[in-house]
Amino acid sequence: MKSSEILQAIKPLLWDGINEDDDDNQFICLTIYAYCIANKLPISNHKSITEHIHKLLGDYFTFEDWLISQGIDIEFNYPKLMETRQLWIDDMIKHFKSIGD
């Protein structure tokens, strides 16, 4: 399964930032990992995407940390954070499609 397809598949699985009972899928990498395990996909599918994410984040552990480092303070506005994560996934889908993955 291509990376762009996995990213598209996890978009609806990500937490919406509102319902606290459903915040298990807050992080993109962990959601991808869970999706790959649940669908019996090779770990290499997960690894190529997470390596790309880690390159984009640089020295930061989470997307939230990176946003704060860029002067974007989400002030624990989780719906806005999750909306931004969705847009970031859209950008990564475009990236992976552009390289045929």
pLDDT in tens, 31-90: 999 999 999 998 888 888 999 999 999 999 888 888 889 888 777 788 888 888 899 999
pLDDT in the model for residue 90: 97
- Residue-number span of the structural domain to which 74 is assigned: 3-98
Does 10 score more than 90 pLDDT? yes
**pTM for the full predicted model:** 0.85
Burial class (CB in 10 A: 0-12, 13-18, 19+), 44: exposed
pLDDT in the model for residue 95: 96
Does 96 score more than 90 pLDDT? yes
pLDDT in the model for residue 24: 75
pLDDT in the model for residue 22: 67
| Structure token digits, residue 51 | 């390596």
Count helices and strands in the chain by DSSP H and E runs: 5, 0
Domain count, the chain: 1
